[in-house]
Amino acid sequence: MRVELYAPGSPPGGDVLVIPPGLESAPTPEALEALRAFARAGGKLLGLAEGVAWLCAAALLPGEVTANRSGAAATHVRVEGRATPFTWAIPAGRIVSIAATAPGPRLAISDAELLALGARGQIVLRYCDASGGVRAPRDDGPASTVAGLCDGTGHVVGVLAPWTPDSDTELGRQVMACLNESHRRGGRPTSPRAAI
């Protein structure tokens, strides 16, 4: 399995393409079309923190990404929603440490669309406390609890929680374990939501 880090101006490649946080330029129409084509061809896309904004701009994920200027950094996420290639082996309800040092960006989306995402199982991670409790910070609204979401296929996932592929965090280790095991099984996980 080839996991590639996306670089603006380069054609998407690999089996899994990671859109990292901190990209310096805004996406061009050509870059957005290349990401859409990669997804249409069956490629798996993982947007991280501000990288999720590129997936929203390409209309691969709903809403848009804004800076989170309120509240302290979250330290945990709760796994929920449908199984994706990035989360299929993490049991639903598991609380995972993200060891964030700063608040991640937040999803800006209407309440109606947020409810629809939840009903379709497309909210895959929610910010929570160490015991799994979820509560939106004052004045932020329910969208601020979303730490990760996916498209209808589960092959496009955005993780708003601060994390990078090279960071040694519990979330990162579990996501990579899911991808590696899925690839080992030929891309078809056989035990969704089994413990790793």
How, if at all, do strands 16-19 and 3-5 pair?
A: parallel
For residue 173, the enclosing domain spans 3-184
| Any domain includes 195 | no
Residue 121: pLDDT band with limits 50, 70, 90: very high
| Any domain includes 147 | yes
| Any domain includes 153 | yes
Residue 169's alpha-carbon distances to 1, 21, 98, 107, 174, in angstroms, are 21, 16, 6, 22, 9
Instruction: Tell me how far the alpha carbon of residue 112 is from its chain's centroid.
Output: 20
More confident residue, 64 or 167: 64
| Any domain includes 189 | no
More confident residue, 111 or 188: 111
Write down the pLDDT at residue 167: 59
What burial letters (b/e) apply to 127-141, b meaning 16+ CB within 10 Å?
bbeeeeeeeebeeee
Per-residue pLDDT, averaged over 157-183, amounts to 75
| Any domain includes 191 | no
pLDDT tens string 139-155: 567 788 899 999 999 99
| Any domain includes 23 | yes
Per-residue pLDDT, averaged over 89-100, amounts to 84
pLDDT tens string 23-37: 877 899 999 999 999
pLDDT tens string 171-194: 877 787 787 776 666 654 444 443
Residue 161: pLDDT band with limits 50, 70, 90: confident
| Any domain includes 79 | yes
How many domains would you assign to the chain?
Answer: 1
Which CATH number belongs to the domain containing residue 106 in this structure? 3.40.50.880
pLDDT tens string 52-79: 999 999 999 999 998 876 666 677 889 9
> Quick check: 136 pLDDT over 60?
yes
Cα gap 136→97, rounded to integer Å: 18
| Any domain includes 107 | yes
Write down the pLDDT at residue 78: 92
Residue 196: pLDDT band with limits 50, 70, 90: very low
